[in-house]
Amino acid sequence: MDTIKIGSVELTRTEAEKFCQERKYIVACRRIYALHYSTAQQCVYGSQIYYERGALPLTKRGRFIVLSPADVNKLVGMAIVNE
């Protein structure tokens, strides 16, 4: 099965495409990734949009969560993505 690696997170191609269409963000430890679709490569890729420099990470190490734009802004405490 095709897997797509975004940071330290491995997703199946169908999961990545679903999250990209739903405009979700991946939060892994201290980083937040935005998902994009490349028409040239015909696959989903991620780009890091935020890094938490505080004492505590956003999620436990080795875990990740998928959030909507409103939930990402609430988690960080400021508006970093458009809702």
Write out pLDDT tens, residues 26-46: 999 999 999 999 999 999 999
In this prediction, the residues of the chain whose per-residue pLDDT falls under 70 are 1
CA dihedral 75, 79, 80, 83 (to 10 degrees): 90
Structure-token match 């980083």, residue found: 31
Q: What pLDDT was estimated at residue 4?
A: 94
* 78 CB-near residues (< 8 Å, 6+ apart): none
Q: What global pTM score does this model have?
A: 0.93
Q: What pLDDT was estimated at residue 83?
A: 85
* 15 CB-near residues (< 8 Å, 6+ apart): none
- CA dist 76 → 13, 17, 50, 57 (Å): 28, 25, 9, 11
**Alpha-carbon gap, residue 56 to 49, rounded angstroms:** 18
